[in-house]
Structure 1
Amino acid sequence: MTRVSFHFNVPHRVAYACRLLRKATRQNARVTVTGPAAALAELDAALWSFDPIEFVPHVVLREGQALPERLRETPVCLAATLDGALHHDVLLNLGADAPAGFESFERLVEIVSTDEADRSAARARWKHYASRGYPIERHEVEA
């Protein structure tokens, strides 16, 4: 069963996602990141520049795109939909809704900012997962 983790009170979601992805790749985890196209584009740009001496290998999977074999082992995959996701270890959700197909992943990570609209959407996602019996962990992020 998918383990769900919520990270609350994140000051900047994209910067926090970059740090989580760096940590995950250091631990040899394979991560799929999903969310709206604008959020994925912002994350893609941030991953190229957030640390001047370190790079987080990632690939953007476009809907209907078949990746060349040499890119299929890239540890981080950014995908607007989970159809054809490369990895099913960890899913990082940057969207407002629970992603369709999340249950095929071992772990789901939700990043929640201090913005009230984001917190409200996170409460709805929490209820969605809890009502289906998924174990949920809560992490408070300190500034």
Structure 2
Amino acid sequence: MTEVAFHFNAPDKLAYACRLLRKAAGMGSRVAVTAEADFLQRLDTALWTFSPLDFVPHATERQGQALLEASPVVLLGSVLDAPHQHVLLNLGESVPEGFERFERLIEVVSLDDADRLRARERWKHYAARGYAIERKDLVLKAA
């Protein structure tokens, strides 16, 4: 069964995603990232520019299957097209179709009230289907 974790209270969802993906890639993990198209485009740009000393190797679905399969981080509109099923990072507004194929699912939730409300609905979805949910409060971690 997929391990589900919610990372709550991210002050900047985009910046947190960049740091999380940098750490995952550095540890050799393979991560599929899903979100709405505009957020994925901003993330693609941010992964090139968020740190002058770091590069997070990644690919988007428009770059072709061979590059997707070779990249530790893939940015996808639909996870049904993911070249692996290791870790899924959901930065989107809804439950990703096909999430249950992944070993692990990470949901990142910002401080925005609308984002938090949508995250509660996703939490209810997973809990109703029997998934044990790990909660990681980023505010408490920073303290």
Length-normalised TM-score, structure 1: 0.94
**1:18 pairs with 2:18:** yes
CA distance in 1 between counterparts of 2:86 and 2:39 reads 21
Conserved? CA contact 2:3–2:133, under 8 Å: yes
* Unaligned segments of structure 2, at least 5 residues: none
Write the letter of the residue equivalent to 1:138. R
In structure 2, what is the equivalent of residue 105 of structure 1?
102
Following TM superposition, the consecutive aligned residue runs of length 4 or more in structure 1 with deviations greater than 2 angstroms are: none
Q: How many residues align?
A: 140
Please provide the CA RMSD for this pair: 1.2
Post-superposition offset of 1:66: 4.2
**1:75 pairs with 2:86:** no
CA distance in 2 between counterparts of 1:94 and 1:34 reads 6
Write the letter of the residue equivalent to 1:127. K
Sequence identity (%): 56
* Unaligned segments of structure 1, at least 5 residues: none
Post-superposition offset of 1:26: 1.1
Write the letter of the residue equivalent to 2:90. N
**1:94 pairs with 2:116:** no
CA distance in 2 between counterparts of 1:85 and 1:19 reads 21
**1:22-61, aligned counterparts within 5 Å?**
22-61=22-61
CA distance in 2 between counterparts of 1:10 and 1:70 reads 30
Choose between structure 1 and 2: higher helix proportion: 2
Length-normalised TM-score, structure 2: 0.94
CA distance in 2 between counterparts of 1:106 and 1:14 reads 23
